Amino acid sequence: MFVEFQTIILRFRDLVTETGETILAHNSIIKEKQAVWWAWWNKGNENIPVQEFSTLRTYAENDGISVYLLDSGQKKLYKAMCAGVNFSTRDPAESPDKELTPEYYRSRKYPAWFKFVKIEECASDEIHHFSYVQVDSLFCDDSINYSMFSEKRVYDLNELIQQNRTVWFVRNYTDQDPDHEIKLLNAHITEPSDFSTRYFEAGGDSLLWLSDLHFDHDSLIPVGKQRNPNKTTLTEHIKNSYAEVDSLSGLLISGDITNCGKSEGFSMADEFIDSLNRVLKRPLSSESILFCPGNHDFTRIEDNLGKGTPDLLTEHIDNAKDYREFYHKVHSKYPNEFFACGRKFLMASGRTVEIVALNSIMLQQYKDFEGHGYLSQEQLDFVAKQMRWNEEESTSAIRIAIMHHHYLPTCLVEQIDTSKASSVVYDAERLMRWMEKYHIQVLLHGHKHRSFASVVGFPIMASETKTCYSFMNNSQVYVIGMGGTGARSCENMYAIIHFFAKSVEISFYQIFGDNSQNDRLLRTLHIDI
């Protein structure tokens, strides 16, 4: 059914261009040729609203119509005069006029194109003059329901940005329209938290696991097209090999997000999350993202350690400042003193999953002392308390821990060199006893860019005499290492963790940053739980 509207709001972000360049590139063509074509990309949950776009085209071709452009990255609002609309009801199409199209996407195909003759920034509160108009035909999935916004006044830019969509149909507000803010994401949360206090409804049964991304100015696998339009981005690699990428419900990263702990690398990580959200039916939020630091995520001290005892990271907190800012951007708060966090998921199947991200970089890194892992009893006790775990309590939840360092060496022959990192955590036995105490079944890690899988068991008491112990199936921990997802000179991959009623499957997909081969499913690990 067609619904009346007065204008639209189109969402965009500078993912392919440098910050601010999208508007500059379009205005440059307007200045030279008096018009420019603007591409509309739709998210995976969005259809082409044929009737509404047809009406918009009529408005544009007759007298022109003012539309709005929302820059979700910079939180800026622009007003554009639209003089034409071109869209395809089938396959995406190239621009109607390539000479009137910015070069960076001149030959790419999109579902719709809008012809603008003027683009200028306007006050962000101008958006408050409109109310939402619900267009059900826009969405592919009937379960996606924005009825709570219908006929309500648009509150502000933040209210728009949190929604998983790229276009809004709006009308002038009336005094009868409700005027209040709606927060979709994590509406049950009163304040940001490092650890979940209740289960988050994931909306699906699978999580994406990445490790050792090593984002920097010279990344092997880019997050955008800014530097090399011909290279395949990480999101595209995942889309190419995993057909159900749009159904992913969460993201895990087991350290080394960046190559050198600088803001540029973390900005790229933020760009990646944003680009991934563009293809998801349900966008990632603070409650569905977990990551832990790696040895490349904190800056090291250039002085030699010598024969001294390494300091704790907490004594050199400024060396983690860029990581702290990234953590704040994702979780809307700065990390605790241990840089640890935890999340509780209720998967679509009804399976409960509890995941903790541990910081194995508790020791300050030095020039001649880097890559060594350490957790501390204080951190482990803190995490268990924050997760409200009771050692005596039985649970049906699958419990997973992620950290950066290895529990076991992954190399066939570990290099014997006291000046080099040992690869493993120094307090590995403490960690294992802790995992047994709180019924953690899976440990995920990264670090040495070698894929790895093993089962570690520990004896439990088998009789009331407290003198007989045995190895039992329920006392095993599956230790799994990721090869890397952007490291050089290694087998790069990502993993999909799928939760079933009585098992977990971890499927590893190999990706080729040089596009020498097609990305492909490499192996699947099945775990009965």
Provide mean pLDDT across the span 162-182: 88
- Give the residue with greater pLDDT, 424 vs 327: 327
Which one-letter amino acid corresponds to residue 304?
Answer: N
Phi, then psi, of 460 in degrees rounded to 5: -125, 160
pTM for the model stands at: 0.66
Statement: residue 43 has pLDDT above 80: no
d(CA 294, CA 444): 13
Listed in sequence order, the residues at least 6 apart from 350 whose beta carbon sits closer than 8 Å to its beta carbon are: none
Q: Which two structure tokens, joined as six digits, stand for 497?
A: 């963790």
Instruction: Could you please state the CATH topology (level 3) that the domain comprising 200-528 is classified under.
Output: Purple Acid Phosphatase; chain A, domain 2 (3.60.21)
Could you read off the pLDDT of 240-296 as tens digits, one per residue?
999 999 889 999 999 999 988 888 999 999 889 988 988 888 888 888 999 999 988
Q: H or E stretch including 168?
A: strand 167-172
Q: What's the whole-number average pLDDT of the chain?
A: 86
Could you read off the pLDDT of 104-138 as tens digits, one per residue?
899 889 999 999 999 999 999 999 999 999 998 88
Q: Report CA torsion sign: 27, 29, 32, 36.
A: negative
- Give the residue with greater pLDDT, 188 vs 394: 394
Report DSSP state, residue 365: P
Provide mean pLDDT across the span 416-433: 73
Domain positions in the chain are 7-172, 200-528
Listed in sequence order, the residues at least 6 apart from 312 whose beta carbon sits closer than 8 Å to its beta carbon are: 362, 363, 364, 376
Q: What residue has token string 């109607």?
A: 96
Confidence at 415, pLDDT banded by 50, 70, 90? low
Confidence at 310, pLDDT banded by 50, 70, 90? confident
Tell the burial category of 116 from Cβ atoms under 10 Å away from its Cβ (0-12, 13-18, 19+): buried
- Asked whether 274 and 333 are in contact (CB, 8 A), the reply is no
Which runs of consecutive H residues, i.e. helices, occur in 278-376? 321-331
Provide the pLDDT for residue 185: 44
